[in-house]
Amino acid sequence: MCYVVRERKPFLAYKLFESNISDQIPGLCVTRQFPDKVKEIFDFRDSRILWLSHTPGKDHHNPTSIGTLATVISSFIERYKRCIVLIDGLEYLVINNGFQQVLRFVEHINEQVMQSRSTVLIPISPNAFSEKELALLERNVEVIEQPTMSVNLEKDFSQLIDEYR
């Protein structure tokens, strides 16, 4: 299932990702944040972290290569069948590729994840998108509103996922 997590700063999505990775559920984190900073704050175990950056380097991914990014994510989902993927930086992808191309990217990933028992979390800042763009992004995914989540995030998220399986 694909979830858009509405939040100004992507803390909830990261906590949900962190709480759901395990030996049986591997994770892939695509982020605009510097990977070392992410590792300092969260325990992502052995999850692969891809940094959206124009700077070349190991596990750095050029944000203009959105087709290649879709292939990396799709391959991860196909390989593990049951995994969790966090895609943080959708706004940055829009800046580098335009909204229509990013919408196609999200729809492609959503189609891939529907065929598996995997989960994709996409935190977005609602203020970064127009009302029409938000409606298009949220049309075929589940939406998690930050204020509606209780303090017991892991339990709430697990129950939410179980409802859709």
Per DSSP, the residues of 29-40 read: EEESS-HHHHHH
Q: What is the pTM of this model?
A: 0.86
Going from N- to C-terminal start, the domains of the chain cover 2-164
3 state DSSP class of 115: coil
3 state DSSP class of 83: coil
Q: For the residues 19-27, what does the mean pLDDT come to?
A: 90
Note the CATH number of domain 2-164.
3.40.50.300
Q: For the residues 143-156, what does the mean pLDDT come to?
A: 63
**Whether residue 154 has pLDDT greater than 70:** no
Of 136, 52, 144, nearest to 89 (Cα)? 52
Tell me the one-letter amino acid at 119: T
For 81-103, what is each residue's pLDDT tens digit?
899 999 999 999 999 999 999 99
Q: For the residues 69-86, what does the mean pLDDT come to?
A: 94
